[in-house]
Amino acid sequence: MASAENLKTILYASLAKTVTSFLGDAFNLKGFRTINASTIANALSVIEKEPVDFVFLDIESMPKQEIDLVSYIKSRSPNAEIIILCSVNELDEAATALRNGASFYLVKPVKASDIHTILAKLSTKADRQREYIVLEQRILSDLMAGSPAMQKTLKLAMKIAPTSSTVLISGESGTGKEFFARIIHRMSKRLDGGFVPMNCGAIPDTLFESELFGHKKGSFTGADRDKPGLVEEAHLGTLFLDEVGELSPSGQVKLLRFLQERTFRRIGESVQRTVNVRIIAASNKDLTQLVTEGKFREDLFYRINVFNLLLPPLRQRKETIPNLINLFVHKNNDILDKHVNRISPAAESLLANYGYPGNVRELENIIEHAVVMAEGNEITEKDLPEFLFRNRLLLEGPGKGACAENQQGGIIPLKQLERDHIKRALSLLDNNYTEIAKKLGVSRSTLWRKIKEYEIETNNPVETRGTETRIERVSHHTNTRGIFIP
């Protein structure tokens, strides 16, 4: 027998007492508890007080103006499955209810077997969704492992996901703002609704209103058909407003009005439309600074900044790089039909010590390049993009608590250490570039590039000129590469 905590709750709302009495036994099922509401006020009271899993709504006995009760229920309990009970004469109203978020409608008279079938189907769907969410949460926790900042951000995202609250995600370009927006959507009770992205910086100001709210045929030149906007496409789902800081002043006004009223009109129409959407906004700009500068409306900022997720750049959460690499390798294996399953230590060192100005997006592109170039099941440094080797240090920075100091007690710059290290190697090995490159674990071309970069004088001009000529000739045909020396 299911415990009280595990029972699924059914709310049966009908003003017709005869129907309530007739269907009473149909809801007497193992694993469920049923709450009867004989008035609209009672039904709303139940919705406000506790979460409900299933709502059977008999619209035949209700006043016609109350049909939007479906939208109200979904706004309070987005995860509730709503089943409409109607007569043959109310199929239009039932269809409207489906558009507003109902799952099914049943035409009366209703059989108990019909109710049992629907409950079994929807219960299985709900159980699978819960299992999927638990699994995804575990995978995401593993993915963010080792980074306290990202674990904190993920925990907050999971906490606010089941709500319908507006979220603002901040962070540099490429930090994964849309990725986190999709996580929130998938963890939410709007999973059956769409995730609709809109890049506010890519839409001209003259087209913003049409893209967001839609237009009526003939409302302007080129409007050759009725076109719903993105807010309608995102009905019962999530509207993701990317780069919201790029909106023009007029675009900000239009968005603010919609957020306040949750109603809109298509261009060229007088009909006021209502949608049920969740807003997630993102910006790579500091919106508080834009507000201070008068470039972003303060009232709009407070509307979208109900919850704020700040994603640190990848260089500040390098602990997550190994897990991200594994994720992107598996992803590209599937897409490219490859079988990469390991990375060489040298390639791993290069990836771990790169600065990633393009953040997670740049890492993903690097791994795609490497998987494509890999000839076997291992990614080596020769499979990595050439730009990773430019200006690369041959020495790793001093460990914690072990910074090299000069005679005055100041910390010596890392490049100076590298320059001095190369000069010492040249002296010890008598300018034998082949041997020096071998000892340092780099190619001759990398060594020669460093000698030129640091303007190191050598005592072997013949060797130097010969090296320069040969390396420049070879570099037209091959990629230079080297191993990071810890």
The set of residues, in sequence order, having a beta carbon less than 8 Å from that of 196 and lying 6+ positions away, is 230, 233, 234, 237, 238, 239, 240
Q: Boundaries of CATH 3.40.50.2300 in the chain?
A: 4-124
The set of residues, in sequence order, having a beta carbon less than 8 Å from that of 460 and lying 6+ positions away, is 430, 431
Residue with tokens 């967001």: 212
- Residue 107 corresponds to which tokens in the numbers above? 């035409």
Grouping H, G, I as helix, E, B as strand and the rest as coil, residue 163 is coil
CATH for the 315-389 domain, from 1.10.3720.10, 3.40.190.10, 1.10.287.110, 1.10.8.60 = 1.10.8.60
Residues in the chain: 486
Residue with tokens 């009770």: 189
**Residues of the chain below pLDDT 70:** 1-5, 17-26, 28, 61, 63-67, 132, 135, 390-412, 459-486
User: Distance (Å, rounded) from C-alpha 159 to C-alpha 143?
Assistant: 18
Nearest to 282 by CA among 171, 428, 423: 171
Torsion of CA 276, 278, 284, 289, to 10 degrees: 80
Which spans in 100-248 are helix H?
Answer: 112-143, 148-160, 177-187, 205-213, 230-233
User: Distance (Å, rounded) from C-alpha 245 to C-alpha 282?
Assistant: 8
Residue 308: CB atoms within 10 A of its CB come to: 12
Q: Boundaries of CATH 3.40.50.300 in the chain?
A: 144-312
Q: Boundaries of CATH 1.10.8.60 in the chain?
A: 315-389
According to the model, what pLDDT value does residue 462 have?
A: 37
Please write the tens of the pLDDT for every residue from 282-304.
999 999 999 999 999 999 999 99
Radius of gyration of the chain (CA): 31
Torsion of CA 259, 262, 266, 272, to 10 degrees: -140
According to the model, what pLDDT value does residue 83 have?
A: 92
Grouping H, G, I as helix, E, B as strand and the rest as coil, residue 378 is strand
The set of residues, in sequence order, having a beta carbon less than 8 Å from that of 232 and lying 6+ positions away, is 214, 273, 275
Q: How far is CA 414 from CA 7, 211, 290, 317, 393, in A?
A: 63, 51, 37, 22, 8
Apex 216 CA angle, 210 and 217, nearest 5: 115
According to the model, what pLDDT value does residue 479 have?
A: 35
Residue/partner pairs of 214-218 with CB below 8 Å, 24 or more apart:
214/266, 214/267, 215/266, 215/267, 215/268, 216/266, 216/267, 216/268, 216/269, 217/268, 218/268
Q: What are 113's strand-pairing partners?
A: none
Please write the tens of the pLDDT for every residue from 169-223.
999 999 999 989 999 998 887 887 889 999 998 998 889 999 999 988 888 877 7
For residues 118 and 83, is the Cβ–Cβ distance under 8 A?
Answer: yes
**Per CATH, is 4-124 categorized as 3.40.50.2000?**
no
- Residue 323 corresponds to which tokens in the numbers above? 């897990």
Q: Which CATH architecture has domain 144-312?
A: 3-Layer(aba) Sandwich (3.40)
For 309, list phi and psi in degrees, rounded to 5.
-110, 120
Which spans in 337-460 are helix H?
Answer: 345-353, 359-373, 414-428, 433-440, 444-453
User: Distance (Å, rounded) from C-alpha 167 to C-alpha 304?
Assistant: 6
Please write the tens of the pLDDT for every residue from 64-100.
655 478 878 877 777 788 999 988 888 888 888 888 8
For residues 339 and 333, is the Cβ–Cβ distance under 8 A?
Answer: yes
Helix (H), strand (E) at residue 194:
none
